[in-house]
Amino acid sequence: MLEELKLKNKVSEGILLAENNSNQALNSVQRLLGFAPAWMHASAEGYLRSMPLYSQDFIAQVLHSDVYRVFFNQIDVQKQLKGREPVHQSQYLWSKTILPNYLLRMLGDGVEMAHSIEGRLPFLDHKVVELVCNMPVALKIRGLTEKYVLREAAKPFITDTMYNRQKHPFLAPPSTFKPNEALQQLVQDTLRSSLMSSVPFYNHAAVINLLDKLPIMSESQRASIDIILMKMLSACILHERFGLT
């Protein structure tokens, strides 16, 4: 089923779905849960893809740390995860990691209030969350149809095109797809500059080597690499303004 979902979710390949689900970094998760969520495989794959870009000093600090074990030590695994469907376990872990620390930072109050916008996130109403948490997996994913119950609830109010549309993440187009446009030029200029070489935890030569290889990468590789480039660009901007150590 996962392979079929991958085929239907090409836009997520390399970003939310790993290209290769074999990753030793997730061994502790596999031992604890008996599986590792697909999004964790993608996250771990991105981490490993980034490793050659870091400085040797930084790698020495983090190489032997098991961040997954540290994370799971803060969760009541027996109460919250054991005995539940793998999909529900995955959703719970997502709600404790990606949702508050990335999605709501990027799409919620943090960016809205900075621009005097007051947003509303109706799907995060606690009554909706409680209802969905108790729904069986068959109402969430039916066959290869994701968000099944939401589609059925919204069907009277949306077009057939929207009803049948494949689920995909809310992502900006990767800058690597348009190398001649302004954003990718900013990425190239900044990451090749002396500013990047002064960021303390990156290997500048490795970063330039990555930039040189972009033209020969596949589309899915460039999509996943774009996230890494945005992180490095952000690090440069933060370093320029605040001085990272």
How far apart are the C-alpha atoms of 158 and 144, rounded to whole Å?
Answer: 20
How far apart are the C-alpha atoms of 41 and 87, rounded to whole Å?
Answer: 14
Give residue-wise pLDDT tens across range 111-127.
888 889 888 888 889 99
- Domain locations along the chain: 2-163, 175-242
- Which has the higher per-residue pLDDT, 243 or 10? 243
How far apart are the C-alpha atoms of 7 and 28, rounded to whole Å?
Answer: 28
Give residue-wise pLDDT tens across range 32-83.
999 999 889 888 888 888 999 999 999 998 878 888 889 999 999 999 999 9
Neighbouring C-alpha atoms within 13 Å toward the C-beta of 193? 14
Q: Would you place residue 19 in the very low, low, confident or very high pLDDT band (cuts 50, 70, 90)?
A: low
Asked whether residue 10 carries a pLDDT value surpassing 90, the answer given is no
Asked whether residue 241 carries a pLDDT value surpassing 90, the answer given is yes
**DSSP letter (8 states) at residue 17:** B
Give residue-wise pLDDT tens across range 169-224.
777 788 999 989 999 999 999 999 999 999 999 999 999 999 999 999 988 788 88
